[in-house]
Amino acid sequence: MQKFDIADGVRLCAVPTDKFKTCRINISMAMPLDSNASARAVLPYFLHRRCAKYPDFTALNRQLDELYGASISGGVHKKGEAQIISMSLTAIDDRFALNGDKVALECAELLADMIFDPIKQGESFPENIIEQEKHLLVEDIENEINDKRRYATRRCEEIMFADEAYSINHMGKADEVKALTPQDVYDAWEEELREATVQITMVGSMDVEPVVEMFKARFAEIHRNPAEIKTQFITAVPKPEYVCETMPLKQGKLVMGFRTGMRNEDDNAAPMRIAVDIFGGGTYSKLFSVVREKMSLCYYCSAGLFNSKGVVIVRSGIEDANEEKAKKEIINQLSLVAAGEFSDDDFSASIKSISDSIISNNDTPETICAWYSNQLMRTNIKTPEAYVEELKAVDRQQVVSAAKTIMLDTVFMLKSEGEVSENEDQ
C-alpha cells in the first residue's frame, strides 16, 4: 500500500496488484455528522449520475461503455460521528485494455469530473434534477420503516445517543430533505470540497503517478480548510433506559445497546472485538449456541461491536412473550464471558473466524478498496495482515477484562400490535 499527499486533508492510497481482471477507484469524503446531514446526503445521488461533461444518463453511459463497460456507484454512511459520502468506479484493469489504454487514469478523470465539475445552473444546481434526487433519497429514508430490524436499530440509536451526534441518521430526515433547495445542496457541495477529509483509494496494476498529479491539480484550485471531526466516547457507567413501541409485526424486535468504556476506536480494540465475538458472533458464540439454539428464546440473536463509537449493539427477533427471559439471558451470557466462562476452543475459534473474515478483504478489488477507504480518518493505515497480528497477540485475560467493561445502556423493544405487516423483514 502506497500513500500520497494530494492536498491539505486529502491523500491517495494505492494498492498495486495484478491479481484481478478489474481495477477499483473510490473517493470518500468525510464531514462532521451534524444538522447539514440531509443536504450532504443528496450529493452522492446527484453527483454519480451526471456531470457537466456528461449531463445525462445516455451521455454518461456512453462514456462508461467506452471505458470497457465500467460501472459507477455512490453512497452515504457514517463512521463514528462522521458522515461519509463516497463514489466508486470499477473497470477493466489496464493490463487487459487494448492498445495500451490507460483505463484507470481515464476512470479517475471521470470521477474527478463528477465531483469537481457537476452540472450547474448559474451558481446553483438544476432544480428539476435536484427534485428527482431528493425524491429518491426520501424514498430510501421512508422505506427504512419496512425493514423492521433496521428500524428498531435506528430507534435504539436515537434513544441511546439522544444528546450525541451519533443519533443523526446519515441519510438525513425526510422532512428536511423535502425542504432542501438546489442552493442548499450546492452550498453543501462547495463546503464538502473545502472542508471534507478526503481519501482516494485505488486497487489494480495501474500507473499511479499520473492519477496523483491529476488530483493534485484539481485540488490546487480549491481553498482547503479541513473541518475537525471528533467522535464523543462515553466512558461513564450508564443508567439503563427502556423504551417500547408497537407495530404490525410477525415477531418482536429486541435491540440492546451497550457502552464499552472505550476512549477511542483503538482503545482495547482487539480484545474487545474477540470478547464481543465470543458473546454474540459466530455459531460458537453464547447468544447463538445458548440463547438461540439451546433455549430457543430468539429467532436470531447477535452482537456487533462499533469501535468507531465504542458501543455494542445486540439485535434479536423474539416472541413478545419471551422478552423478559431473552433480556435476562442475554445479560447473563455477557456476564459469563466477563467471568471467563468460555472454552479455549471458543477462544481459538473466535480468533480464527475474525482473522479469516479480515483476510478475506484481500479477495476482490472491491473489498480491498473498502478496507482502506474505511480508514480515511486514520493517520496510520493498517493492513488486514497487521490487524490479524494484533488479534493473535491477545490472551484470554485481556478478553475477560474487555468483557467486564461492557455495560447496558438502552433497551428498545418493538412489539406486535396483533396485526401482520406484509413488508416485515424477518
Region 140-166: mean pLDDT is 93
Does the structure show a pLDDT above 70 at 424? Answer: no
pLDDT greater than 50 at residue 234: yes
* Structure-block grid coordinates of residue 33: 455528522
Vertex 343 angle, CA 336 and 296, to 5°: 60
Dump pLDDT digits (tens) for 1-49.
899 999 999 999 999 999 999 999 999 999 999 999 999 999 999 999 9
Amino acid 5 reads D
- The predicted pLDDT at position 419 comes to 53
- Provide the pLDDT confidence category of residue 152 given band limits of 50, 70 and 90: very high
Question: Do the domains spanning 2-220 and 241-415 agree at the CATH topology level?
Answer: yes
Among the ranges given (25-39, 136-150, 199-213, 304-318), the one the predictor scored with the smallest mean pLDDT? 136-150
Residue 244 pLDDT:
96
Between vectors from CA 184 to CA 182 and to CA 187, what angle results, nearest 5°? 110
Model confidence at 80: pLDDT above 70: yes
Task: Map grid coordinates 429514508 to a residue.
Answer: 141
Q: Tell me the one-letter amino acid at 51.
A: C
Q: How many residues does the chain have?
A: 426
CATH of 241-415, one of 3.10.129.10, 3.40.50.150, 2.40.340.10, 3.30.830.10: 3.30.830.10
pLDDT of 226 over the 60 cut = yes
CATH superfamily of 2-220: Metalloenzyme, LuxS/M16 peptidase-like (3.30.830.10)
- The closest of 209, 223, 228, 197 to 4, measured between CA atoms, is 209
Q: Which three-class secondary structure state does DSSP give residue 414?
A: strand
Separation of alpha carbons 18 and 343, rounded Å: 42
Q: Tell me what percent of the residues of the chain surpass a pLDDT of 90.
A: 89
Q: pLDDT tens across 316-344, in order?
A: 999 999 999 999 999 999 999 999 999 99
Quote the pLDDT of residue 1.
87
Beta-strand relationship, 22-32 and 2-7: unpaired
Q: Is the dihedral of CA 372, 49, 144, 177 positive or negative?
A: positive
Model pLDDT for residues 90-112, shown as the tens digit of each residue: 999 989 888 888 999 999 999 99
Report the pLDDT averaged over residues 363-385: 95
* Residue type (1 letter), 344: D
- Identify the H or E element spanning 77: strand 71-79
- Angle in degrees, 0-180, between the axes of helices 37-47 and 127-143, rounded to the nearest 10: 110
Instruction: Label residue 426 by pLDDT band (50, 70, 90).
Output: very low
β-strands 300-306, 311-318: how paired?
Answer: antiparallel
Entry pTM: 0.92
Average pLDDT, the chain: 94
Over residues 354-372, the mean pLDDT reads 96
